[in-house]
Structure 1
């Protein structure tokens, strides 16, 4: 099992002896499998070494005013993976605090630690892993390498998007992966796989799901959102959903749902 999650505390044999235990065991298997698939996808991104300033995890006034967001886009599968990690690895008090965050676009990433390190580094999402993985030199080289092989509009978008995430404080430590990584970015390969994995993730069921559909008019959970946005529909008390979700959804700037 390649997932990051420890076996349930009650033990596998004891769990499968009861109906509730079987449900918990299946949930554990599902999350472990999801973690495996995400890790396989993440492994294609060149590893980097960051100076650890934390600047990329805090929005400037200009970025905030221009609708930038920290840790966005966050795919549904990635949210589920991070939420499971938080529940398993953090204290109940701290995990409760993190899962209670409903601010959709905070100025500071909630996982930025006091030492400017990432407190969920093993399960950080794709957007954080790709930050700084391309620099002006590698962007120009890979754009030229793919010229004539891929549509020009895709290459221009690749240069524009990744150029905005180039960071002089980040060093690539796996340069042998850069060419394949660039092709995945140009072709949208990462996004397609994250979408596929996310389609199989249900955030909740029962009354919570009914309230979500009724108050938002959407049949499906958002494919991409933010940590606070996903928390609002997955973890907020039902009374909060009944009273606030409709207005929260109308004000949402980042939710991607159909």
Structure 2
């Protein structure tokens, strides 16, 4: 959609409803296509831990030629791979990983209070049956089909009291936020004293320093540098841990070896999980 048309639609309050309907329709058609084309691949091999479907392989997602140099050239762990989407329910590898980690490492009490940023459909629907969940985003109208009660929230100025949540999930959120250190501090503030935040981001295990330039405000350059038009950095692994610690978190990293048992769920084999404790 060109910028002028987008601006006109936003002024008439039609942009979000039209975009949401378009995305929903496209997702439905994509899902039907995958169900049909992956029918020959049904059978033992990989299992979706949301819908229970079994396939010998899942749907791949690889970076396009415009962003591949940023992703592959910097060895970014960003969710791309050969087994990303479940052909049946379209759950993504990073959703399935979070579910598996919560089930094994973070069993939810019935009264648990969860804050879920930019909620993924399958993960949100599973969580809402196990705890009290609040969802937020800076563009909440894009998510009303997932959670009609989603509310607006700026991660750098969260509208919640101290210690409001037992678990916070921000799955690939911080790389979008210029003032990420403020967002980390805010997440730490709203966590209960025994609370845990799962704060996943694209990161590079080989970059010597986080790749970012606050002066860049151009979607094309951001895509070329960081691998996505609305990303503002690629985190270096060690620097990401340092930033989390600076915000007050005690970080426990589940490395790929710790997570190997979850590969049956078609998770990304090289991804680590960042469990960030309030203290």
Return the TM-score normalized by structure 2: 0.23
Structure richer in helix, relative to its length: 1
Name the structure, 1 or 2, with higher relative contact order (CA <8 Å, separation 6+): 1
Structure richer in strand, relative to its length: 2
Return the TM-score normalized by structure 1: 0.25
